Structure formats: structure tokens, C-alpha cells
Amino acid sequence: MIKVEVISIENIKPSSPTPASLSSYKLSSLDQLAPPFYVPLVLFYTRHGHGQHQNYLKTSLSKTLTRFYPFAGRLKDEYHVDCNDQGVEFTEARVNVQLAEFLRQPEVDVLNLLFRFNPFHITFGMELLLAIQLNIFECGGMAIAVLLSHKIADGATIVAFLNAWSATARGVDAVIQPKFIANSLFPARASISHYFRTTEEKVLTVRFMIDALNIAALINRSASSSQGWRPTRIEAVSALIWGALMRVRSDKGLKKASVALHAVNLRPRMTPPLPDCSFGNLWVHAVTAGIAGSERVEDMQRCMEGQVRDAIKAVDTDYIEELRRPDGALRFYECMESAAEKYSSCGMDVYHFTSWCRFPCYEMDFGWGKPVWISGSIPVKNAVLFLDGSGGDGMEAWVTLVEDEMEKLKSDPELLSFFTCAS
């Protein structure tokens, strides 16, 4: 049985006090819209180089927090973070197995043992914005488990922070400097909150894997239909999973419309584009509606790819300019809140798709090499997180569903003709 024993817990504060002029970090309207949960991420390393890894990890973290100072604060209200330098929680723990044994079948329940507390829970104004646990395996391998509040940052921000921290640990001078511009572009507004719907149902997260050859085969199958365009990796793979999810519901006698929400990173879509290290939540949902049909799965796949493509393309310069208008964020919130109520009242299924593919997650070298594997998930019902595979060319889809639907998804023939289920 795998056991994780906590050795120590301490607060790591910024190495230099945050200036009084920066004592209050203003959230943006997009931060207000972000769902209230922690985003979990684990980086696995086969070796640590020397026995002082804890000390220089903590020292480099302290230096990095001077630049990413809001993480060391506390959420004050729906508009501000109190940048009081209270610090982030840094836990050291020992795992009673070899890393290779742990990674042999890493189910989410086991992965969650590497975190200090449940990523499904956050209490505003009281909980930490960032918590880190260093897990050391019997062989000397390590897992750095990170929990970051989604109310203050998105995936791009998490990756920028971790790359800045790892560069500092290696002694690299040209480190990442975050850009705190989200509030100036999307100021916080009254009467805005997240439109996320929680559930008391028991959910299960399972990892599905697809290699480069199967991704190419899926794309080529759609491209051969002579529609004049080739789907992207995300369009093809998310449409495949979405179709499988609708078949699962259809098999239960629930053949009805569903909605796919794709998180779209606004940074490269701004004019001019924003730096990747722009801090905060800088994304919106692209909304796509579909219904499980009786047509061939290839035709359904192609149709859904087109719908996903059109929805994501609609998040263009004009869309963003509308969002930036004084009433833009409020109108977006009211539209999404109304839609959420409508979907809930008529029993429509809503699926959340997020992609961290192409983010430089596998560049996070703290001085003992790059990670051998990275795990993550979105800890909510009907969520799908895409990550690059450890080999660099494939993809992993971390899917969270209620338990009985997950069992059906794991046996969907069309999905399994391209994906492999990890458990």
C-alpha cells in the first residue's frame, strides 16, 4: 500500500518584501469569472542530483515569489489579493515506494496522495493561493505537486511561474518577469462571479492516451472528406471525445443536445499579442452546441470538428474588443449565467475542454533534468484536460465523469480505436 508521510510544513515568503505600492493586487473581470477550485499539477523527476535539493528549492522559490508576489498573498475579496507576504505552503513528504512502482499505474486517487489537501475545495479569503509539496521516493526520485487557485491564475500563468522557478533554481540570469496587465485590460466589475455549476455526485478521473500516429490517422480521416481544410490536433481529438461522451449519454436513453466549452487563451489573440508570461486568467470559453445523431461516426466527427473550429475562431479581435467594453464582461457573464441556467433546467450536458498542449511543461528543469512525466486534471464533473505526452508527440486526455458514465466511456469502440485507456 502506498503511503505518503509528511516530514515538515513551512511557509516560504518572498526573499524581498513586497513594496507598499504593490500591497494590493487588483483582480480582473476574467479572474472574477474563473471557477473556484485549485488546479493540480505534478512534476515527476527520476533523480535529484544531490542531497540539498530541499534547501535550494526553497531558496529559489523564495526568490521567484518576489517576482510573482500575488501568490504569497491571500484573497481579500472578489476584487483584490492582499499581497501581505504571508507566503506559500511548502510541504516535504516521503513516499514508501520506488518512483517506477508509483508510475506503473498512477490513478488519480493515488496521485492525490501527493498533495497536502483536496484540490476540489477552496474557501475565499482564508485558503492559500499556492501550495507546493515535495515528495521524495525511496529511490531518490521526486514529485513536485503544485496546487494553485484558479481564482488568480490560469494554466499559462502556472507554467510561466514553474519555468521561472526552475530557471532560478538552475541559476539562470534571464528569468521570466510576469506582466501584471490583466486588470488594466479587463477591469473587475460589480455583480460578476463564476458561472460554474458544482455537483454532489461522485466523480472519477481517468487518463486516456493517444500517440502521434493515431492523431495523424484521426486528422487524415477527416481531411479525406474533401471539405477543404484539415482539423487541428485539438479540434480532432476533442471532437472524438465529445462524440464518445454523447454516445455514453445516448446509451442511457438520454439522446439530447450537449454543449462543449473550450477554454481559449486570449494572449496570442490580442492586438498586439500579449506575452506568454502575462499574469492572471486570460481566457474565455468558446461555446459549441451539438446533438447525438444517427449518422455515421465519421460524419458526426467531421461535423463536430467544424463546430469546434468555428467557435474557437469566433474568439477574434472583434470579440475581444467587445469583451473589453465597459459592459462587455458583465454582458458575457449574464449570457453565460443565463445559458448555464438554461442548460441545467432542460438537462443538457455541459463538457469543459482545456488544453495545455504546446505549453513548455517539459522544460521545467530544476537542475537535475527535465521531468519524466507530468500529471494534471480538472477536478470537476464533465471536464477534459489535454496534456502533451511524455514522449513529446502524443497527447493525454484526463477525463472526469460520474462513475457509471466513465465505465461506459472506457469501452466506447470508436474512442478506443484511437485512444488507450490507462486504467
Residues classed as catalytic:
150, 365
How far is Cα 348 from Cα 195, in angstroms, rounded to an integer? Answer: 15
Q: Which of 242, 271, 284 has the alpha carbon at shortest distance from 386?
A: 242
> 3-state DSSP call for residue 314?
coil
Cβ count near 171 (within 10 Å) = 10
Tell me the CA distances in angstroms from 181 to 25, 177, 186, 279, 331, one per residue in order: 11, 12, 9, 7, 22
Residue 231 contacts residue 116 (beta carbons within 8 Å): no
User: Could you write out the DSSP letters of every residue in 9-74?
Assistant: EEEE--SSPPPGGGSEEEPBHHHHHS-SSEEEEEEEES--SSTTHHHHHHHHHHHHHHHSGGGGSE
Q: Which of 13, 354, 371 has the alpha carbon at shortest distance from 150?
A: 354
In this structure, are strands 349-355 and 74-75 parallel, antiparallel, or unpaired?
unpaired
DSSP for residue 392: S
Element (H or E) spanning 243, and its range?
helix 233-251
* Cell numbers 486570449: residue: 266
> 3-state DSSP call for residue 207?
strand
Cell numbers that stand for 294 in this block: 444517427
Residue 119 contacts residue 383 (beta carbons within 8 Å): no
**193 half-sphere exposure, CB direction, 13 A CA radius:** 9
DSSP for residue 278: B
Q: Which of 290, 307, 198 has the alpha carbon at shortest distance from 244?
A: 290
Residue 400 contacts residue 37 (beta carbons within 8 Å): no
Residue 287 contacts residue 37 (beta carbons within 8 Å): no
How far is Cα 16 from Cα 158, in angstroms, rounded to an integer? Answer: 21
Q: Is the dihedral of CA 15, 19, 23, 29 positive or negative?
A: negative
How far is Cα 230 from Cα 210, in angstroms, rounded to an integer? Answer: 18
